[in-house]
Structure 1
Amino acid sequence: MLYVLYDILFYLLTPLIIPYHLYRSLKRGRSLAGFGERFGFIPADKLSRLAGARTVWIHAVSVGETMAVRPLLKELKRRHPAWRLVLSNGTETGQRIARGIAEVDLCLYVPFDYRFAVGRALRAVAPSLVIIVETELWPNFLLAARRRGIPTVLVNGRISDRSFPRYRRFCRFFAPVLAEVSAFCMQTEEDARRIVAIGAPPARVHVARNLKYDLPVAEVGPAERQQLRQTYAIPAGVSVITAGSTHPGEEEQVVAAFARLRQERPLALVLVPRHPERAAEVGELLRQWGIPFIVRSRLASPAAPAPPGTVLLVDTIGELMKFYALADVVFVGGSLVDTGGHNLLEPASVGAPVVFGPHMHNFREITALVLEAGAGSQLADSAALAGELDRLLAAPAQRQRMGGAGLQLLARCGGAAARHLEIIDRLIPAGERS
């Protein structure tokens, strides 16, 4: 009865779902074939890449989840090199990142949760295992997988402070959905406790730690950093701030801090909005401040160095780690506004000192580890941003200590992918393993 009511609600929403996603497809460059994938129509030429091999279907809704699952994809391919990995996303930006991951054999858009759409997609891909990243639990997709005998596992699972009360309120709905999942690999003990409280069978819940800890550690030397700066038209002899994954309301604070600091020292700013389609909006903000800027997609190659005090405004996907690597100081966005923050370990993994705001509730454990290790600095509010950046830019020895502490932290905290694979391998029949 629960699934019947869910289906009725989903069909009632169809007049809103289809026009909205068709508009997104046209606006953001998604092909009509990509739109068809949302209804389970996967082109035959794509399916031919699977060539009858054993297949694992991994679903990561957007950029953050796609970035997080990369260590697991690498470990899956290492342990099961003959398997084909299919990675699905729900957003265009997530799909762009997915296409750049070497271990992925096929990229798809996830089907809408209509029974006919998920059934058609599962028949076409015929996976031996489905892996779902973080919290993307769609009832009909899970039900269809279970009826086909396909085990499903939630990886890097988390239940945020904000969502937990809502899930608890509707636990009578979520409990049957969670019962369809074969295993839950949660980030922390608290996440495990929360998903059991919502209705997950306790025997299937495991603490496997956070895949975002499994970033490759790569300290960037002076020569490599200088080469990156030349590639992106950053002049010699300037300090560089990278502001990554910024949101509306934050760019104003970052630009205000930069406007003040560029009067005091040779400085460049790399500004990377979380959603690249907002670049035009952020560019208008820079014009209002009278600050010169270069748009990344229009940057010539090779590029002539820009004057000191210029902003590199990034409107592309997939280069964020390079922008972290070339920076003297990194500000991680989503933290001065009540978004919940982004992954501090990404800049830490390239030895960059990290500055971030008070709103880090989606990364509470990582925040505590970064602060305890001395790898980052947390601001009380946006008013403190300029002062903290100025302090760190004037203290190269402290920046070096913070960067080194971040590298050591990553070296200590790895291994989550291996823990996840221990649980995943139990779901794969011995005769089907590579």
Structure 2
Amino acid sequence: MYDIIMYAIQFGIAVGSRFNEKLRRMWRGEREAVRTLQEKVDPDARYIWFHAASLGEFEQGRPLMEQIRRDCPQYRILLTFFSPSGYEVRKHYAGADIITYLPIDTVGNARKFLRAVRPVMAFFIKYEFWYNYLHILQHRGIPTYSVSSIFRPDQVFFRWYGRSYGRVLKCFTRFFVQNEVSKQLLDKIGIHDAMVVGDTRFDRVLQIREASRQLPLVEKFVGADTADRKKVFVAGSSWQPDEEIFLGYFNGHKDWKLIVAPHVIGEDHLKFILALIKDKKVVRYTQATEENVADADVLVIDCFGLLSSIYHYGDVAYVGGGFGVGIHNVLEAAVWGMPVLFGPNNKHFAEAQGLLHDGGGLEVCDLATFTLEMDRLADDEEYRMACGNMAGAYVKGLAGATKKILSNVKL
């Protein structure tokens, strides 16, 4: 049944590629993957294979890849992606020697792929459980690890109808899971080689903070750090429902400066944001100058790649997505030691739940709850500082997964 599903997916991608650019890139990349390996693999080198579904999983695997690169230069790194949103953004990543798509998990594709590279070790990030690739790796005796994996009782592996597919989990040499619940769930189905190490994303956001850039235009917008300096609210990865709430609040408050970095940067969405802002001077980042940005009230970030550094300039952060499919990366904001607000769809996001539990994160459900939380943060500096300190301490306290994993892997 699994193989039938894989062939159906492969057929669907092939057909869809005629009409969709994302699928076209995916189909072309998967077809070229084995040829890329045949051209680039050094037969005398030893490759460690990292597989990430997309960009988020790549960020979780990145601290491991870079630590191995530093400590064990005798190995080469192969990095594969399933999604174009990961591959297209990171296809020139300097931390890997070869970067390709991963062909759909049919028996034939898996055999061709693994004949071409013959890795000495493999790391699958978070939710990647490809049946044929994993069985061939196990059959060849190649150590294979699941990193930053997290499990819930409602997943197919723990249902009566998923027991057959659940056997794929036995192909892993060891699981490095995020929490104790995941370890207990694996234990119930007879998988005992699991270790709770946490999430490598905590290590990654500390790296990002260390490598953050100074942004002169943002510094000019924020102003000098003086007693009368306005506080700065940074909204990152925001969507329309998020923007309607926080802009609805700040239209009536003139004692804060706003930086808005929307998730979707397109003219229609930018026009929507600008239409929501009332009685404030607004500057788009790509049109900002030292003269016009200094006395602006709102700075709209209309380009990519700046958000993780922009959080550095905030006093309070809002992370979007919580009124849709789910919140974005709250850790990138929390690492700077400031309160982080987000919407209600956060229950399946362990880091958001952790921030809520520790007091560094605050959930908002509508304009009324946003007003309640924001008024307190604005009026009570001691409370705001305490929330920020708890957010920063939460991130630092859960760092270290990379070191724990590599100390339990034979390199």
Instruction: Give the superposition deviation at 1:300.
Output: 6.8
1:169-205 CA-to-partner distances (Å, cap 9, x unmatched) read 43222232222222211111101222344x4x42322
Instruction: Give the superposition deviation at 1:295.
Output: 6.1
> Which residue, 243, 246, 250 being the options, matches 1:254?
243
Alignment of 1:406 with 2:396, yes or no, is no
Alignment of 1:322-341 (within 5 A): 322-337=309-324, 339-341=325-327
**What residue identity is the alignment partner of 2:233?**
I
Give the SS at the match of 2:73. coil
> Which residue, 205, 225, 240 being the options, matches 2:194?
205
Change (3 A) 1:206 1:45: closer
Instruction: Give the superposition deviation at 1:261.
Output: 0.9
> Which residue, 1, 6, 16 being the options, matches 2:2?
6
Provide the C-alpha distance between the structure 1 equivalents of 2:144 and 2:19, rounded to a whole number of angstroms.
Answer: 32
Number of residue equivalences: 402
Instruction: Give the superposition deviation at 1:145.
Output: 2.3
Alignment of 1:352 with 2:352, yes or no, is no
* Other-structure match for 1:428: none
* Other-structure match for 2:16: 20
Instruction: Give the superposition deviation at 1:165.
Output: 5.9
> Percent of pairs identical after alignment?
24
Alignment of 1:88-237 (within 5 A): 88-99=80-91, 102-160=94-152, 163-164=154-155, 167-197=158-188, 199=189, 201-215=190-204, 217=206, 227-228=214-215, 230-231=217-218, 234=221, 236=223
Give the SS at the match of 1:370. helix
1:21-45 CA-to-partner distances (Å, cap 9, x unmatched) read 5644x359x75xx643313534549
**What residue identity is the alignment partner of 2:262?**
V
1:362-408 CA-to-partner distances (Å, cap 9, x unmatched) read 223x3454244432323355531244234324444443333333333
Change (3 A) 1:9 1:401: closer
Instruction: Give the superposition deviation at 1:137.
Output: 0.6
Alignment of 1:308 with 2:296, yes or no, is yes
* Other-structure match for 2:72: 80
Provide the C-alpha distance between the structure 1 equivalents of 2:268 and 2:158, rounded to a whole number of angstroms.
Answer: 35
- Do the aligned residues in 2 keep the contact of 1:293 with 1:313 (CA within 8 Å)? no
Q: Which has the higher contact order (CA 8 A, sep 6+)?
A: 1
Length-normalised TM-score, structure 2: 0.82
Length-normalised TM-score, structure 1: 0.78
Provide the C-alpha distance between the structure 2 equivalents of 1:46 and 1:353, rounded to a whole number of angstroms.
Answer: 50
Change (3 A) 1:389 1:143: same
Instruction: Give the superposition deviation at 1:96.
Output: 4.8
**What residue identity is the alignment partner of 1:228?**
L
Q: RMSD of the alignment, in Å?
A: 3.5
Give the SS at the match of 2:311. helix
Give the SS at the match of 2:45. coil
Structure 2 residue runs without a partner (length 5+):
224-228
Provide the C-alpha distance between the structure 1 equivalents of 2:13 and 2:70, rounded to a whole number of angstroms.
Answer: 39
Provide the C-alpha distance between the structure 1 equivalents of 2:89 and 2:354, rounded to a whole number of angstroms.
Answer: 27
Provide the C-alpha distance between the structure 1 equivalents of 2:18 and 2:73, rounded to a whole number of angstroms.
Answer: 37
Instruction: Give the superposition deviation at 1:134.
Output: 0.8
Give the SS at the match of 2:408. helix
Structure 1 residue runs without a partner (length 5+):
426-432
Provide the C-alpha distance between the structure 1 equivalents of 2:283 and 2:58, rounded to a whole number of angstroms.
Answer: 28
Instruction: Give the superposition deviation at 1:47.
Output: 5.1
Provide the C-alpha distance between the structure 1 equivalents of 2:230 and 2:46, rounded to a whole number of angstroms.
Answer: 52
Change (3 A) 1:252 1:380: closer
